[in-house]
Amino acid sequence: MPHAAPHAATVNGTRYSFPNLRTLLARATPLRSGDMLAGLAAESASERVAAQLALADLPLRTFLNEAVIPYEADEVTRLIIDSHDATAFAPIAHLTVGGFRDWLLAEATTETLTALRPGLTPEMLAAVSKICRLQDLVAIAAKCRVTSAFRNTIGLPGRLSVRLQPNHPIDDPRGVAASTLDGLLLGAGDAVIGVNPATDSVAATTTLLHMLDEVRARYAIPTQTCILAHVTTTLRCIEEGAPVDLVFQSIGGTEATNTSFGVNLALLAEAQQAALALNRGTVGQNVMYFETGQGSALSANAHHGVDQQTVEARAYAVARRFSPLLVNTVVGFIGPEYLYDGKQIIRAGLEDHFCGKLLGLPMGVDVCYTNHAEADQDDMDALLTLLGAAGVTYIMGVPGADDVMLSYQSTSFHDALYLRSTLNLRPAPEFEAWLERMGLATSTPDRIPAPMSPALVGLA
């Protein structure tokens, strides 16, 4: 691709110049510790504003002519460029980044955004997000509608789903079952009942897969289960006949990041086909589940000098290729080296949700932080509420909001009840009907309903 001329703007009498698109995007990014660690952040607020001004005047077509990572060197770049739909892009092809922001706020509708998806690249959306206020990120994302389906339908208007996350420090099936029962009683689990295994072994993964599938079948729960093991572990479980609903994998926005995770596009395609061949979905066949997070590329030294938010957006192009049931950013999990405090975590969560939804992903957010970050549960409440207003597809439900295996702070089952109640949101329709049948739909029960006796999950 041709080398672009430098980008520049003047602020307070000082002329700031940015030699290429990669540098312009990095300097325009709202402050975060990961970009400072990488040496990519603007050196002053004035330089950041200058970069944002230059970025606002940049034609959107630039992103089709200048790659932030060379086409020849990166399969994610090749995926982005080769899958771009020029016809879908045509209605906004004349706009600048700033003009695109104005169009998104003033003119875009749910229908036009749906039609536009194939014409957007992650870098375009990363760029426009950098010049958006938080309310812009909320207002624009709220216009998007993305649905996916397996045993229930995720992402319908007026709905909020919850991943039930019953992790256990030693993968004890009884401990996982107890947390699962706790979450179901509080209306969680319509996104997925998904366990992060403490050990990535085929034996442990298979044991948990069978246990969760037996619980799901015994209660006739219209949801899906997943053990978040490495994709190669899940493929081996499929080969051994385990009841696999969804294939999980952490992914990144560069080929090198994905190599550090032990995956590439071909392996993900193989896994998708293996899961589709099982034909376990009842209302849909979206069989992939991806997690992402700002900072993963930098932590693997695989960012190619690209700022962490732009790299994160590129990960969504990887996810989009496989029509997933679920995608979520684990926004504050990697630590304060990448997102230092509550303010940075809040903005990053809204940026990630914005970019994912506009690219057509069923986007969830793990509203979370680690104990050594300058953040607390008040910050998470703020982000949770903003995401609810933005139409987030799903959030996490962790017993007590404290994951005892991964040792980080997330959102609890009660946090999901708060958001549903406050914003008048409901679970996925098939799951909501199941809650009604089980006597769990109107309020938290004061006793476990007889059909959900702990004996049914081997706890008594």
> pLDDT per position in the chain (460 positions), as tens?
444 458 999 999 999 999 999 999 999 999 999 999 999 999 999 999 999 999 999 999 999 999 999 999 999 999 999 999 999 999 999 999 999 999 999 999 999 999 999 999 999 999 999 999 999 999 999 999 999 999 999 999 999 999 999 999 999 999 999 999 999 999 999 999 999 999 999 999 999 999 999 999 999 999 999 999 999 999 999 999 999 999 999 999 999 999 999 999 999 999 999 999 999 999 999 999 999 999 999 999 999 999 999 999 999 999 999 999 999 999 999 999 999 999 999 999 999 999 999 999 999 999 999 999 999 999 999 999 999 999 999 999 999 999 999 999 999 999 999 999 999 999 999 999 999 999 887 655 556 666 666 665 566 5
Q: Residue 440: what pLDDT? A: 86
Type of residue at 325: L
Apex 192 CA angle, 230 and 431, nearest 5: 165
For 325, phi then psi, to 5°, come to: -75, -40
Residues β-bridged to residue 250: 291
Q: Residue 161: what pLDDT? A: 98
**Whole-number Cα distances in Å, 222 to 117, 149, 283, 434:** 29, 11, 10, 7
d(CA 195, CA 245): 13
Consecutive H or E run containing 153: strand 153-154
Residue 223: CB atoms within 10 Å: 27
Pairing between β-strand 192-195 and β-strand 408-409 as defined by DSSP bridges: unpaired
Q: Residue 441: what pLDDT? A: 74
d(CA 97, CA 400): 42
- Contact indicator for 254, 69 with CB cutoff of 8 Å: yes
- Residue 167 CA to chain centroid, in angstroms? 19
- Residue 88 CA to chain centroid, in angstroms? 24
**pTM of this prediction?**
0.95
Longest dimension (CA), the chain: 74
Apex 22 CA angle, 354 and 261, nearest 5: 65
d(CA 236, CA 218): 25
- Contact indicator for 155, 148 with CB cutoff of 8 Å: yes
Q: Residue 1: what pLDDT? A: 46
Q: Residue 457: what pLDDT? A: 58
Residue 70: CB atoms within 10 Å: 11
